[in-house]
Amino acid sequence: MGSLAAGLLLAFFIVGVPVPFALGGASALAMLLNGSSNMVIVCQRMFQGINSFPYLALPFFILAGNLMASGGISDRMITFATTVLGRLKGGLALVAILASMFFAAICGSCAAVCAAVGAVLIPGMLNKGYDKNFAAATVASGSSIGIIIPPSVPMILFCIAASVSVGDAFMAGMIPGILFGAALMVVAYFVCGRNGYGTDGRRYSMREKARAFFDALPALMMPVIILGGIYGGIFTATEAACVAVVYGLIVGGLVYKELKLADMAKIFIESAVAAAGVLLIISCAAVFAMLLTREQIPTKITALMMSVVANKTLYLVIVNIIWIIMGMFMEISASVIILTPLLLPAALAFGITPYHFGVMMITNLAIGMVTPPFGLCLFVISDIAKVKLMPLLKNVAPYLIAMLVTLFVICAFPQLSLFLISR
């Protein structure tokens, strides 16, 4: 049944069936075609697939991100980043990437980072003479960091699928995420220098920088509280998500006073819809995983990999190609849930730690967010900036090259991912 379900799943993807219905439909249809009439198992397994305490972290982190996005956080972070980098050549492009890194450490969603930073910065970049397509490409590329720098919703999914510590996985993504952002900033600096994109024209005093920093400090403290609490053993990742919601309400509603009661219904509805979409994928994937496990597909894949692949290096090349392709065509949550149980056993057999494996996978999928044909950030930013896809892709290309180089470095030097865990 597992092989039949995999074949049906591929067919459903080819004809464009939405991910959760493709997973659930392929599994149920495979059971029917195999002679199983007890469809109650499908419902039971779907419920069991999400009946887990750690999964509560997902809706709470999504809600926390939406609260912070609506509470005036992005404006203050961008103001702070502008005072730091605005005087440099191509300063607003650098600000876009740095602001994306800051905001990624709050909401953990590429699309949310793209929308929040793009809506504020792209008009300002256009006023300073930046090309519209380059401005959109810069914001889209910077927003891909959203799922690498913790907290990250896809990283939580990986930890649950791999049965590893969320806190350690968050720490593993910190240095690679910063390295990712730094590489994008180098590209932005040189492209701006070549094309003559200027500064914002202001020299900021230390008083202005200090004021911008202290204004943004409540927002900047959120990732410190979350990661410090988790890694310090004060609370679990799920409890940290709840703390983040409360903190977001306090900062947005009482400190910045931009969260209004009239906005709360919309925020809760949007968060519930987003969380429900992810949890539906997880529940349907649980049925699919059950069929794969029954036929020991992960074990067979591991044995095949060990017999065909000569060494760890070749294995890394193969899985990185798989991840890149999946990131180009499939939703991130589904990719993590499907690929982790299939590829992780072979990785462990080759001596790759699960945390390094997870960082590599999430980084590949982040690249997929700005890679055609289904890069989500490309569609989000094209709608915000009102640009066409082909000119946008031309400007994204230098950033993609930097991303791939950074990915190679992350793969080649696992200590970049493991350094903070080993401290």
Residue 90: C-alpha distances to residues 84, 86, 93, 192 (Å): 13, 8, 5, 5
Which one has a higher pLDDT value, 404 or 80?
404
Give the count of beta carbons closer than 10 Å to the beta carbon of residue 94. Answer: 25
The domain ranges of the chain are 54-277+296-419
Asked whether 346 and 305 are in contact (CB, 8 A), the reply is: yes
Taking residues 1-30, report their average pLDDT.
79
Average pLDDT value for residue range 240-251: 87
Rounded Cα gap, residues 198 and 223, in angstroms: 32
d(CA 58, CA 35): 36
| Residues 354 and 344: beta-carbon distance below 8 Å | yes
Whether 184 shows a pLDDT value over 90: the answer reads: yes
Question: Which of 239-243, 317-321, 372-376 has the lowest average pLDDT?
Answer: 372-376
Higher pLDDT, 164 or 338: 164
- Per-residue pLDDT averaged across 22-43, rounded? 80
Overall average pLDDT of the 34-49 stretch: 78
What is the arithmetic mean of pLDDT over 228-256?
84
pLDDT-above-70 percentage for the chain: 93
Tell me the C-alpha distance between 16 and 80, whole Å. Answer: 43
Kindly report the pTM of this predicted structure.
0.78
Mean pLDDT of 223-234: 79
Are 389 and 372 in contact, with CB atoms under 8 Å apart? yes
pLDDT at 198: 66
Of residues 150 and 398, the one with the higher pLDDT is: 398
**Residues 99, 97: Cα–Cα separation, whole Å:** 5
User: Residue 45 pLDDT > 80, yes or no?
Assistant: yes
Tens-place pLDDT, residues 354-380: 999 999 999 998 888 888 766 778 877
How many residues are given for the chain?
A: 423
pLDDT at 107 over 80: no
d(CA 29, CA 310): 37
* Rounded Cα distance, 204 and 370, in Å: 33
pLDDT bucket at 64, cuts 50 / 70 / 90: confident
**Percent of the chain having pLDDT more than 90?**
13
Look at residue 403 in the predicted model and tell me its pLDDT.
Answer: 93
Per-residue model confidence (pLDDT) at position 233: 78
Instruction: Find out whether 44 and 27 touch, Cβ atoms under 8 Å.
Output: no
Tell me, what's the pLDDT at 176? 92
414 pLDDT tier (thresholds 50, 70, 90) = very high
Q: Could you give phi then psi for residue 307, rounded to 5 degrees?
A: -85, -30
Residue 178 burial (CB count, 10 A): 15
Distance (Å, rounded) from C-alpha 55 to C-alpha 47?
12
Checking if the pLDDT of 78 tops 60, the result is yes
Question: What is the pLDDT confidence band of residue 256, given thresholds at 50, 70 and 90?
Answer: confident
Q: What does the block give as tokens for 56?
A: 């509560």
Least confident of 215-224, 301-310, 411-420: 301-310
**How many Cβ atoms sit within 10 Å of the Cβ of residue 80?**
24
